[in-house]
Structure 1
Amino acid sequence: MSTHRIRFLAALAGLLLLGAGGNAAAQSTITCESRNGQYQSCSANTSGGVTLSRQLSSQGCWQGDTWGYDRNRVWVTRGCRAEFRVGGASSSNNTGAKVAGALVLGAIVAAAVANNKHNDHDDRYDNDYDNGYGGGYGNGREIRCESTSGRYTTCGYVDRHQHVEIRRQLSNQQCVYGRNWGVDGRQLWVDDGCRAVFVVY
């Protein structure tokens, strides 16, 4: 595919996505702050998604690690303080334009990869798997981690490229990410009675 055609498709995708976003529900910005490293949740309409708009803290804010959101709130922990952009769901009339834009962008990426003769393979996950860290997206590596008598406990190594989730909760105490379990540095930790089997992949 020629460079001119790739540029044309990129421009077309931009117009489609711009048109799709024009009728989206109004967005707003909220500030959510973890004071003294404590977990904090902030009420918000997250039906249209949440993005970090501006970080206010010196501590890092990483989605799924030190901040996240669910159906009606944004949460932060371990010193993350930031402004977040939240908004309602987009109008259903925009779905076709968004899908078309995504398809065109996909074509552009595929063409760029096909034409890049010097494309290098990113083997970070392959290396993690070979080193025994459970990299890749297979069945993952299980870690059993238990906070006995409500004590803070670390249980296993997690590479910075890996994802952790609960496979099976063992405790009556609900395990809530960022509140009584999480990843600090490269260590999986539990606290306040959370006991569970986690999967790392």
Structure 2
Amino acid sequence: MKWLVSLCGLWCLPLLLLADARASDRASDRAAGVVRCESKDLARVHCAMDTAQGVQLVRQLSETSCIRGSEWDVERDGVWVEQGCRAEFAATRAQTATVMRRVVRCDSNGGTVACPVVLRGAPVRLLRQRSMWPCKEGRTWGVRRNEIWVSRGCDGEFEVGAEDGSGFVAVPRMVTCESKKSARRTCGVSVERAVRLGRQMSKTPCVEGQTWGWSRDGVWVNDGCRAEFIVD
């Protein structure tokens, strides 16, 4: 690197440092078991990696969706991608295999949209509502044989449970919900058992039954309450 700086002057230094940083990032990714897999021209591409303990999509790089079962999936000796999916995948370590969630995002864009996903009878629940429009099961989102559908502006992240009937990952979910300008807001999430206040983030007190509450479709807040809630 020193002889390159001498050759082209100090103006080259930022570029060389950037190249060094990128090389370091790639080395760190390899050490962490992260593999980049890219489908070009919509073709299917296989990328070798360790899949013994499972694989998790850690970063989507493409604007094209990367949905497990349709745009990517796991094989015995690696992962495959197609339909333009570009993403980084990490081999799941044994100690984290039990806490990995399988998440699919589905956005209606104002209409009715079906997002294909291989379910094989696995249950589905709303993990996080991303839209201001409500996501309510049976009304603005639902499940058919091998797809999740959304409508009327619902944009959500959905968790797919285990195919063997053992249910969902047994780790509480965290949802942040904020009442802006004291208006009431509902933050959609599927509630099986209960919701607890985890951390109040507003000066306005968050009091259950007064400034926040919950139903099976999500958590609501009003009068300026902003907090993180633990969903079971």
TM-based fold match above 0.5: no
More strand as a share of residues = 2
Higher helix content, 1 or 2: 1
